[in-house]
Structure 1
């Protein structure tokens, strides 16, 4: 067999393997979102993927390994998303614009990947995912503090940390409601979430920068 043909065969096998892994992870995302992590099974994932359980076990030894791989990929994508969403802004940027841009970016990610919420906030997620999520949470808070610092340049660090925790807590509470609805009702909840965050931050931004708080529409 020619040398270049011998090299091509492993590459093809590797490409087929990657496609199969992607197929299994997509199926797992559907199953985890529908049933939750605890109730999911490798048999259900294999059935969703249209393969035999034996084929699944060629790539993953158990459900936990699938969840960890899926969670790792999702967290990598999330880090890219919040890197763009939570970049510092010009202090002159209207609060509504800064909040709206950040919320829209995160809501879009979670709506595109509903399994992220199911895995990260489930009652029985694997320990490794929990550790990775804690690290992601800490980094996310730091990014929120950086965004707030650009809006509140004179705020003490302790105030920024507290405000960042409140903003993230409000967002998570609103996200669960957003993901629980579809269509126009989902959009309405997104607007409610933005309104809550803006109304919480407006007095702080107005006081710190000497701005006159803008009037937000009544929900």
Structure 2
């Protein structure tokens, strides 16, 4: 299900990107079940062999789209942490900081062609779970390191557990916000309160 080969030449890279762009656009139109390599070929104006050179099936396409989306989301969170996002002062300041980063992450998903469906695919398709899990583990590890610098007296194990829980809840809330845009603001506000109050306990 992995990508067969990575493009090296400029023309090959253009073809590769055209395939992914077509797949993302089609996901938004037809969803996961109706997406097919034939539809992608037609939209990208490519022959099936041109697509199969890189992607053996639609799940390989979804995997690459998912990995790219996870990377963009993760980079936003890492940038937030590196710029002191977790170092805000009181509970309200932490809440506001978390609101900012979660809004940015959700905006990345909504801006991505087919972003909502990519997130759903990562959640629903068993063979894609490892993409999601790898992202969560990476974010949790980086978050626990950031928390350790802020709360040096806290147990490293407890900080890792806290980071893992926060990451899981953050992903879940983000998925809910994307699936229920009419409730997104309320969901993210509740998430920010949960995180702010949860991390506050490490100050004592």
- TM-score when normalising by structure 1: 0.68
Q: Return the alpha-carbon distance in structure 2 between the equivalents of residues 156 and 25 of structure 1.
A: 44
- Call closer, same or farther: CA 1:140–1:91 in 2, change over 3 Å: closer
Gaps of 5+ in 2: 1-8
Relative to its length, the structure with more helix (as a share) is: 2
Point out the structure with max Rg over C-alpha. 1
- Call closer, same or farther: CA 1:80–1:171 in 2, change over 3 Å: closer
- Call closer, same or farther: CA 1:138–1:95 in 2, change over 3 Å: same
| RMSD between aligned residues | 3.1
Q: Which one has more relative contact order, counting CA pairs under 8 Å at least 6 apart?
A: 2
8 A Cα contact 1:43 1:53, kept in partner: yes
Q: Partner of 2:154: helix, strand, or coil?
A: coil
Q: Partner of 1:125: helix, strand, or coil?
A: helix
Aligned partner of 1:191 in structure 2 is: 189
Q: Partner of 2:125: helix, strand, or coil?
A: coil
Gaps of 5+ in 1: 1-13, 210-219
- Call closer, same or farther: CA 1:185–1:67 in 2, change over 3 Å: closer
- Call closer, same or farther: CA 1:39–1:150 in 2, change over 3 Å: farther
Aligned partner of 2:136 in structure 1 is: 137
Which aligned pairs between 1:160-179 and structure 2 lie closer than 5 A? 160-179=159-178
8 A Cα contact 1:91 1:150, kept in partner: no
* 4+ long deviations beyond 6 Å: none
Aligned partner of 2:76 in structure 1 is: 81
Q: Deviations over 1:26-46 (max 9, x none)?
A: 12123445522x553211222
- State the shift of 1:158 in Å: 1.9
Which aligned pairs between 1:4-15 and structure 2 lie closer than 5 A? 14-15=9-10
